[in-house]
Amino acid sequence: MSFSLGLTGSIGMGKSTTAALFAEAGCAVWDADAAVHRLYDRGGAAVEPIGAAFPQATMSGSVDRTVLKELISNDDAVLKTIEEIVHPLVQADRKSFRAESREDILIFDIPLLFETGAEVEMDAVACVHVPPEIQRERVLARGTMTTDQFEQILAKQMPIADKLARSDYRIETDTLDHARAQVTQVIEDIRRRMPHA
Ligand SMILES: CC(C)(COP(=O)(O)OP(=O)(O)OC[C@H]1O[C@@H](n2cnc3c(N)ncnc32)[C@H](O)[C@@H]1O)[C@@H](O)C(=O)NCCC(=O)NCCS
Ligand SMILES: Nc1ncnc2c1ncn2[C@@H]1O[C@H](COP(=O)(O)OP(=O)(O)OP(=O)(O)O)[C@@H](O)[C@H]1O
């Protein structure tokens, strides 16, 4: 029996970095954003349905994220349509991962864990957090989104205080060493709670 730990947080608060720390400690990691990348790539299961809804976004045979972001910026309804296509495909990908993994602790890095109801599949949830000004600085420093695109995505996400209140563990991502120490504690706590083989 494995333990499923959902890992969430607001955009740019350190989910992927923290997931890598769990992987370093021997946990298997599934990443929702990476699953979306596979679904959007040439031959991925989202290419055809996204192309049917937004032909201009799949002209190259894969989903063009820049075009998607432009469409989302111009019309709020676009993201909802994309989500209706993508979320069931992402859920199916997660099911296969769970069936194939042999590690005792499985980490599910899911930005929209609570928003999509995925927490019902989890044994516990950990939420990463930093103050909003550091979040903004880190996201804009990546240079992949404009301030407007960042604000628009942020407005679609549940406030971080609500995510933290609904989580079993909180991981502050102010420094790597601090985050690593908290990850070690979470793993120890989970192993204490797990029935021994
Ligand atoms: C909006 C898109 C085009 C942005 O692509 P881009 O490559 O710039 O960013 P990336 O995919 O790495 O996402 C960055 C972050 O944005 C946030 N985000 C992404 N999609 C959403 C969404 N639908 N609602 C709220 N936040 C979102 C997440 O925190 C994510 O970690 C892309 O994220 C997308 O197609 N999203 C829709 C699919 C979805 O809902 N994915 C979320 C995982 S299930
Ligand atoms: N513990 C930490 N200490 C210092 N910097 C960190 C820490 N965790 C994350 N960061 C930095 O914050 C930025 C965002 O981190 P990361 O990509 O892990 O966030 P994310 O939540 O996965 O983002 P997104 O929601 O966009 O997928 C990166 O530049 C990363 O280096």
- Over residues 86-111, the pLDDT tens digits come to 999 999 999 999 999 999 999 999 99
**pLDDT at res. 195:** 73
- The protein residue with its alpha carbon nearest to ligand 2, atom 25, reads 11
Mean pLDDT calculated for residue range 30-43: 97
Opening angle at CA 128, ends 135 and 125, nearest 5: 150
Mean pLDDT calculated for residue range 32-56: 97
Buried b (16+ CB within 10 A) or exposed e, 77-110: ebbebbeebbbebbeebbeebeeebeebbbbbbb
- Out of 8, 11, 17, give the residue to mutate to test ligand 2, the one with the largest number of ligand atoms within 8 Å of its CB: 17
* pTM, full prediction: 0.91
Comparing CA positions, the residue from 26, 32, 34 lying closest to residue 2 is 26
Tell me the HSE value of 32 on the side-chain side, using a 13 A CA sphere. 21
- The protein residue with its alpha carbon nearest to ligand 1, atom 12, reads 33
- Over residues 64-83, the pLDDT tens digits come to 999 999 999 999 899 999 99
ipTM: 0.88
Please tell me the distance from the alpha carbon of residue 49 to that of residue 150, in angstroms, as a whole number.
Answer: 26
Please tell me the distance from the alpha carbon of residue 77 to that of residue 73, in angstroms, as a whole number.
Answer: 10
**pLDDT at res. 91:** 94
Question: Within its chain, how far is the Cα of 35 from the centroid?
Answer: 9
* Phi-psi label, residue 43: left if phi above 0, alpha if psi -120 to 50, beta otherwise: left
Question: Is the CB–ligand 1 distance for residue 179 below 6 Å?
Answer: no
Which atom number of ligand 1 is nearest to the Cα of residue 11?
A: 29
Which atom number of ligand 1 is nearest to the Cα of residue 37?
A: 11
The ligand placed nearest to the CA atom of residue 156 is 1
Question: What are the beta bridge partners of residue 172?
Answer: 129
Question: Within its chain, how far is the Cα of 149 from the centroid?
Answer: 17
Q: Is pLDDT at 146 greater than 80 in this prediction?
A: yes
Residue ranges lining ligand 2, Cβ < 6 Å: 9, 11-17, 33, 111, 138, 173, 175-176, 179
Mean pLDDT calculated for residue range 155-166: 96
How many angstroms is it from 119 CA to the middle of ligand 2? 22
At 164, the pLDDT band (50, 70, 90 cuts) reads: very high
Tell me the HSE value of 53 on the side-chain side, using a 13 A CA sphere. 19
Q: Name the amino acid, one letter, at 113.
A: L
Please tell me the distance from the alpha carbon of residue 164 to that of residue 153, in angstroms, as a whole number.
Answer: 19
Q: Is pLDDT at 163 greater than 90 in this prediction?
A: yes
* Tokens representing residue 86 in the block: 């993508």
How many angstroms is it from 112 CA to the middle of ligand 1? 9
- Out of 29, 36, 108, 138, give the residue to mutate to test ligand 2, the one with the largest number of ligand atoms within 8 Å of its CB: 138
- Expressed in angstroms, the distance from the first to the final Cα of the chain is 9
